[in-house]
Structure 1
Amino acid sequence: MCPETVGASQDGQGVIRSIHGRIHMEQIDLSEIQELLDDILGGTVDFQQLVEQGTSGQSILSWGGILHDFGTIFLQELVMQKRLWVHVLLLAVASAVLLHFAEVFKNRSVSQISFAMIYMILLLILMVSFQNSMEIARGVLLAMRNFMTVLAPAYFLAMTMTSYVASAGVYYEFILLLVSGLQRVLELFVLPCIEIYVLLVMVDHLSGEERLSRLTELLEMVVGWSLKGVVAAVMAFHMIQGLLTPAADAFRKLTVSKGIEMIPGIGDAGSSVTDMVLGSAMLIKNGIGAAALVVLLLLCLIPLAKLGIMMAAYYLLAAVLQPISDERITGCLAGVGCGMKLLFQTICMVLVLFLLTVALTTAITGR
């Protein structure tokens, strides 16, 4: 080996070490993401620490801690909802007793008036409970939207450092379109449809004759198909776009790398430098993507637990009270439980969309 080649190789290795030392997380501003997480989660999550754990190969998701937190939230929510369930049980039992005595004394008008009063009190309780659920749903949807908005600049900046410039531009525009489009669809269509559905269920069971059952079924079907349509559209975009832009970026990266290798004297060292820089940037980008997946799960953990408990409670109350209470009350409870289920499905759909978007984008541009 000639002295010139040895010197060039040593110089190239020095350049590799120098450039590798300059590739740090400080080059990507994560302060805005951390400020948002501090506001939402109370400073319990350090986003940069999650990224560093991911880039170093450590586990960033503790299933034991998540299960412990979920159990704590579950017990707290049970205690908080106990008073509501007791009120509903007392009203259902009271209506059953009044209807029984009215049948004994053959006084139908008294039974109807008594039932109407009890049903109106029950409606007020259920409406307050459902409005609280709506606030929980709106809060978590807003939190996910804000997180994706502040995540996009840092994440796609890291993607441009991996030479996937065209992919970063396309997916960045898609993320912004997805966030704004979901906001409009949910706030202007899906959530109002769920509110109307619950109100119609409550009104429909007041008279005892189901005159609005077909309309409520239609609303439930429309909400379900709307959510499925959004998921299908997002998956179609990833399937089509994932075959085009990343492949073009990968071809350009390969062309540049091969061109550097052809430079006499420093070709091998230059190619090693390029691989080191791109590999470090790829590691950072994947670390940000993995940390984003964990944060999305943490944002939805508590709201989904609350909605799941409330949904299960209403279905359980309807099942337990059916043998003793009036079918109008049990039908109303089941209808409110179905409304909670639609809210639960909406949050899960948005969570899955964002998880798929981040995961597929990270995987497609990770080659």
Structure 2
Amino acid sequence: MEQIDLSEIQELLDDILGGTVDFQQLVEQGTSGQSILSWGGILHNFGTIFLQELVMQKRLWVHVLLLAVASAVLLHFAEVFKNRSVSQISFAMIYMILLLILMVSFQNSMEIARDVLLAMRNFMTVLAPAYFLAMTMTSYVASAGVYYEFILLLVSGLQRVLELFVLPCIEIYVLLVMVDHLSGEERLSRLTELLEMVVGWSLKGVVAAVMAFHMIQGLLTPAADAFRKLTVSKGIEMIPGIGDAGSSVTDMVLGSAMLIKNGIGAAALVVLLLLCLIPLAKLGIMMAAYYLLAAVLQPISDERITGCLAGVGCGMKLLFQTICMVLVLFLLTVALTTAITGR
């Protein structure tokens, strides 16, 4: 265990999580057979985050609610004005104010998504050297090389796909929804549906590609490494006099290395969940709030207002799905790599 340097991983976690997670302690708990995931603590933290986020977002929701009610009053009582254009201009002004508020809120959500994606990417980058060094100690040398290259490719590829394509598409989608509902004629509805479909299929395509790699590679390289390990073990057994003792020592050393490697993998899974807990809770609350506001205001407010709120909620949902997709990809990669090379 002393040969594997975990200091860089700990420094990153201290910077992101504020020193609340000891990675080496998680690894030691995993290697000793103890539980490293406390569901009670996670649920308690989630409840605390939920209440804090509700308090923080309360002012925004009150402003949105007041603007939606004001626009409904202006439109439903337009006959009070001698000139109907006065109510239309007033509604346009209220809609623009609402538009600015929603844009600021969505930009904050984009920052949350970018920060958590960056945190997961940096964690996987610093995890890879320690994890695959532990894998080489288990005699899975070829698998360590192949999967190490795959991890680096996955991290860099996801960064490019998300930053250059997926996140800009989500941002453009929300902007188009806001602009489209300003006129009330929905001239851009087909384009927004296309963007939503493209984002969804892009995420599914990445998941399919990663799963295909694991299915194909998991049948080849680990099997070759396992055969090589078996050959070495049987060869040591054939040495006269010390064969049985040498084979037992070799199995014990390889078993200890396997336990350390699996402990690092299990600790990495827990850390990935902790990295995404708070951002997913925040995005989930904001997404649910916009859908709830759209549903509550639909009977009294203008369709353009409720459609805009629902569109922003859908944009939050796409961000939520993107983070979940990246989290699932990294969880599956670590879990499947650990399981395939654990024989």
**What TM-score results when the alignment is normalised by the length of structure 2?**
0.99
Radius of gyration: which is bigger?
Answer: 1
- Distance in 1, matches of 2:79 and 2:260, equals 73
User: C-alpha offsets along residues 295-326 of structure 1, whole Å, 9 cap, x if unaligned?
Assistant: 00000000000000000000000000000000
Contact 2:23-2:267 within 8 A present in 1 as well: yes
Deviation at 1:134, TM superposition (A): 0.1
Deviation at 1:105, TM superposition (A): 4.1
User: C-alpha offsets along residues 64-113 of structure 1, whole Å, 9 cap, x if unaligned?
Assistant: 00000000000000000000000000000000111122134463201110
User: C-alpha offsets along residues 254-312 of structure 1, whole Å, 9 cap, x if unaligned?
Assistant: 00000000000000000001000000000000000000000000000000000000000
Indicate which of 274, 281, 286 corresponds to 2:250.
274
User: C-alpha offsets along residues 109-145 of structure 1, whole Å, 9 cap, x if unaligned?
Assistant: 0111000000000000000000000000000000000
- Distance in 1, matches of 2:76 and 2:48, equals 42
**2:321 match:** 345
- Asked if 1:310 is matched to 2:261, the reply is no
- Distance in 2, matches of 1:147 and 1:103, equals 61
- Asked if 1:259 is matched to 2:232, the reply is no
User: C-alpha offsets along residues 319-357 of structure 1, whole Å, 9 cap, x if unaligned?
Assistant: 000000000000000000000000000000000000000
Instruction: Kindly tell me the number of residue pairs found equivalent between the two proteins.
Output: 343
- Distance in 1, matches of 2:272 and 2:250, equals 33
User: C-alpha offsets along residues 42-66 of structure 1, whole Å, 9 cap, x if unaligned?
Assistant: 0000000000000000000000000
User: C-alpha offsets along residues 239-258 of structure 1, whole Å, 9 cap, x if unaligned?
Assistant: 00000000000000000000
Q: State the Cα RMSD in Å.
A: 0.6
**1:28 match:** 4
- Distance in 1, matches of 2:12 and 2:25, equals 15
- Distance in 2, matches of 1:77 and 1:177, equals 35
Deviation at 1:181, TM superposition (A): 0.1
User: C-alpha offsets along residues 173-201 of structure 1, whole Å, 9 cap, x if unaligned?
Assistant: 00000000000000000000000000000
- Distance in 2, matches of 1:148 and 1:138, equals 15
- Distance in 1, matches of 2:5 and 2:81, equals 76
Contact 2:30-2:36 within 8 A present in 1 as well: yes
97-106 or 354-363, which deviates more: 97-106
- Distance in 1, matches of 2:43 and 2:180, equals 40
Contact 2:214-2:336 within 8 A present in 1 as well: yes
**2:167 match:** 191
SS at match of 1:49: helix
Contact 2:50-2:281 within 8 A present in 1 as well: yes
Contact 2:81-2:87 within 8 A present in 1 as well: no
SS at match of 1:206: helix
Unaligned 5+ segments in structure 1 are 1-24
**What TM-score results when the alignment is normalised by the length of structure 1?**
0.93
Q: Percent identity?
A: 99
